[in-house]
Amino acid sequence: MSDLARTKQPGPTLNQRFFTLRRFCFLVAAIIIALLPLIFPSSYWRTNLIVCAINVLLAIGLDFVLGYTGQLNIGQSAFYGIGAYASTLLIIKLAVPFWVAFVLGVLISGMGGALLSLFAVRLRGHYLAIASLGFAVITYQILLNWISLTQGPLGIYAIAPPPPIALPWLPRIVFTNLTNLFYLIAGFALVVYFILDQLVRSPIGATLTAIREDDLSAASLGIDAFFITESFSMLAMVIVGGMGTLIGPVFGAILLTVLPEVLRGIGDLRLIVYGAAVTLVVLFMPGGLVQGARVIARRALRITTKFEARP
């Protein structure tokens, strides 16, 4: 092949570059997750890593509703609580195997969402926010006051971890080990993120975006729009990270989970620093942390493209 023919071959398009970058970032994320328990060997920080992974799951789930459909749901903590209590009570009261109870907990939580949708399907904006907030309050009061079932404010304690998993030619994976428990929850978070990432880039994702931009027009085309502090914490994670980006709430969940722990040494002053940090992000980066990352990535890509275009 001549030099002239080689110079005329088209290079990768911008979309192809971003697709390759996304796959690379996903691989890097998996490697970082694998290394985190080694970087933070203490049980205190490994416990915080587990909380981070749980919050990431909650934040990306809320972002799917808030960021892509524009529906302000403040009842996320209710579904979280319903699933947690349902699966735990099935295990403790009825001796249901852990993984069966895990699936049933998801289904029961989903049924709670379906029940709410029967009453809130026609609500929009702040009306939906109030309805979902009311649902969260009712759920919280039931869990708090049904003492014979939930033990009320004492909560349910001495909950056994997931049963060990035995894999061929490998030692048993025991989840009393905090590292293994973190890998389990972070693994679920990665899988859920990948599924949602594929979903929002499918025709379903286009439907959700249409609902967010103009739900009345979307409906005319045949498209249906289908303690409280925890809900607001999830909301803050999504907003600070960047709504409608999926990856943004991941960073928001990590930041707003780790930051209070890092600042714990300065006492109550940490609340001021925490609030100021959140306020600054919202004021100067309306698109969240992911907005800043995108600006940096675009500039870096432009610089790289200019260098590659030089003879």
If one counts the domains in the chain, the total is 1
**Residue at 98 is within a domain:** yes
Which DSSP symbol is given to 250?
A: H
Question: In angstroms, what CA-CA distances link 74 with 69, 79, 188, 243?
Answer: 14, 10, 23, 15
Q: Is residue 62 within 8 Å of residue 76, measured between CB atoms?
A: yes
Classify 123 as helix, strand or coil.
Answer: coil
Residue 261 maps to a domain: yes
Per-residue pLDDT of the chain (311 residues; tens, 9 = 90+): 444 444 444 555 655 666 676 777 778 888 888 888 888 888 888 888 888 888 888 888 888 777 776 667 777 788 888 888 898 899 888 888 989 999 999 899 888 888 877 776 666 666 677 777 778 888 888 888 888 888 877 778 777 888 888 878 778 888 888 888 899 888 888 888 888 887 777 666 666 665 555 454 444 444 446 455 666 677 777 777 777 777 777 877 887 777 777 777 666 666 676 677 777 776 777 677 777 777 777 777 777 776 666 65
Is 5 among the domain residues? no
Residue 188 lies in a domain: yes
User: What is the model's pLDDT at position 100?
Assistant: 92
pLDDT at 276: 75
Instruction: Please give the pLDDT value at position 7.
Output: 47
Q: Residue 123: inside a domain, yes or no?
A: yes
Question: Which amino acid type is present at position 59?
Answer: A
**CA trace torsion 174, 177, 178, 179 (10° rounding):** -70
Give the pLDDT score at 38: 87
256 vs 241: CA distance, rounded Å? 9
Q: Whole-angstrom Cα distance, residue 287 to residue 247? A: 12
Look at residue 3 and tell me if it is in a domain: no
Instruction: Let me know if residue 8 belongs to a domain.
Output: no
Nearest to 83 by CA among 111, 62, 59, 54: 111
Q: What is the per-residue DSSP string for 145-185? A: H-HHHH-GGG----PPPPPPB--TTS--B-TTSHHHHHHHH
Query: Each residue of 20-75: pLDDT tens digit?
Result: 767 777 788 888 888 888 888 888 888 888 888 888 888 888 887 777 766 677 77
pLDDT of 220 reads 44
Tell me if 18 is assigned to some domain. yes
Q: Which of 77, 90, 93 is nearest to 138 (CA)?
A: 77
DSSP state of 14: H
The angle that helices 289-309 and 247-262 make with each other, rounded to 10 degrees, is 120
Domain housing 294: 13-309
Residue whose entry in the numeric block shows the structure tokens 């587990």:
50
